Amino acid sequence: MDHFDYRKGRLFAEDVDVEKIGGQVGTPAYIYSKATFIEHLQKIQNAYAALETTICYSVKACGNINILRFLAAQGSGFDIVSGGELYRVLQAGGDPGKVVYAGVGKTDNEIIEALNAGIGYFNIESEAELDNLIRLAKQSGPTKGHKPRAALRVNPDIDYKTHAFTTTGKKETKFGVDIERAQKIFADYADNGAVDLCAIHVHLGSGGKTIDPYVEAVRKTVPLIDGLRGEGHTVEALDLGGGYGADYESESVPSAADYAAGIVPLLKGKDLKLILEPGKSICANAGILLTRVLYIKRGGAKEFVIVDAGMNDLIRPSLYDAFHFIWPATVQEDFLPAQRSKDLQPEGTRAFDVVGPICEGADFLAK
């Protein structure tokens, strides 16, 4: 795993023994590798260097303010979905001009804060939201010397082939507007006078493991952009969202270079700024949750390891039935994990459910 490895049977985060961290700060504790975050960000930046690209790290993936601070120092922009996330980004020194604001439920106060900050783009999810943004923008007036910019989030009806809860590009989801309605929306709001509707936004979901949906999304949105420009509308940017998968196991997932190889040729020569919103692909293997074993329990049908971290600390296993490999902080050399696999069970070991202390049957980290 990225910058987490064993040295003489002890797990290290970069050059620090994780068990010593637990002894100093207690458990449960999140431990992050700065080097891994930066490496993952730079791989994406380098992969899309052939285009004018802004990488907007998705704050929802991991909003630790220190992480936001060093990502901002590396030139990252930020994808936010709330006023609280905007506050964190600004406190971390993020450039508001590199902030894109997504989400279907922006409140008036949140929109006003974003207007005052002079963010890069509001990602618009509906006509009702655009009406509200225009109303508030007229009250606020131009900020940073220009009208606020907006990207219309279109729903391309693409099956992302991931968990139903993390698929957001199908027609039946609450996100975006049908791609067929985009041209009418641009026409209807072209002369609103307060908001510059000048970009297209797409976000297909989270946890993807193939580049095909992204290629399909570009192939659907480029003709839309060409059509809008042909009708006299300015479209300066395409925001392709995020959702790139992370390698939670030892199986292969596409790299940033793989995604870019499919996307960049379709956008070359289109005179478009590209915006990407990676989150999990930057942070997923850049941190661990350190937890302490409290008890070993033999149940009627299973054996349990009870730890001091629970679903409140790591929700994905119980919410998405997601797999996260569990690394012992110390392990005998004969039992060093050879790979991150849910089927890994070395000879001489027994299978346990790893569960937390919360009074809820869904409180487990692994089964």
Where do you find CATH 3.20.20.10 in the chain?
A: 34-283
Distances (CA, A) of 144 to 93, 149, 209: 17, 11, 39
Number of Cβ within a 10 Å radius of residue 192: 18
What confidence score (pLDDT) does residue 1 get? 53
Residues 341, 347, 349, 352: is their CA dihedral positive or negative?
positive
Contact 136, 180 (CB under 8 A): no
Distances (CA, A) of 263 to 22, 273, 283, 346: 43, 13, 22, 41
Q: How far apart are CA 191 and CA 206, in angstroms?
A: 35
What confidence score (pLDDT) does residue 250 get? 60
What confidence score (pLDDT) does residue 231 get? 96
Each residue's pLDDT, cut to its tens digit, for the chain (367 residues) gives 589 999 999 999 999 999 999 999 999 999 999 999 999 999 999 999 999 999 999 999 999 999 999 999 999 999 999 999 999 999 999 999 999 999 989 999 999 999 999 999 999 999 999 999 999 999 987 777 789 999 999 988 776 555 444 444 445 566 678 888 999 999 999 999 999 999 999 998 766 678 888 999 999 999 999 999 999 999 999 999 998 878 776 656 889 999 999 999 999 999 999 999 999 999 988 999 999 999 999 988 999 999 999 999 999 999 988 888 898 999 998 888 877 776 777 777 888 999 999 999 999 999 9
DSSP, collapsed to helix, strand or coil, labels residue 229 as helix
Residues labelled catalytic: 359
> On the CB side of 9, how many CA atoms lie within 13 Å of its CA?
6
Cis peptide leading into 328, omega within 30 of 0? no
Determine the topology of domain 4-30+288-366 in CATH: Lyase, Ornithine Decarboxylase; Chain A, domain 1 (2.40.37)
Instruction: Record the tokens describing residue 115, joined without a space.
Output: 């207007």
Distances (CA, A) of 11 to 159, 242, 336, 339, 354: 39, 31, 10, 14, 19
What confidence score (pLDDT) does residue 51 get? 98
Query: Which residue type, as a one-letter code, is found at position 201?
Result: H
Q: Which CATH code fits 34-283?
A: 3.20.20.10
Contact 183, 220 (CB under 8 A): no
Where do you find CATH 2.40.37.10 in the chain?
A: 4-30+288-366
What confidence score (pLDDT) does residue 145 get? 74
What confidence score (pLDDT) does residue 336 get? 84
Residue 366 β-bridge partners: 354
pTM for the whole structure: 0.90
For residue 149, what are the contacts with CB-CB under 8 A and spacing of at least 6? 120, 121, 122, 195, 196, 198, 199
Place of tokens 């027609």: 171
DSSP, collapsed to helix, strand or coil, labels residue 244 as strand
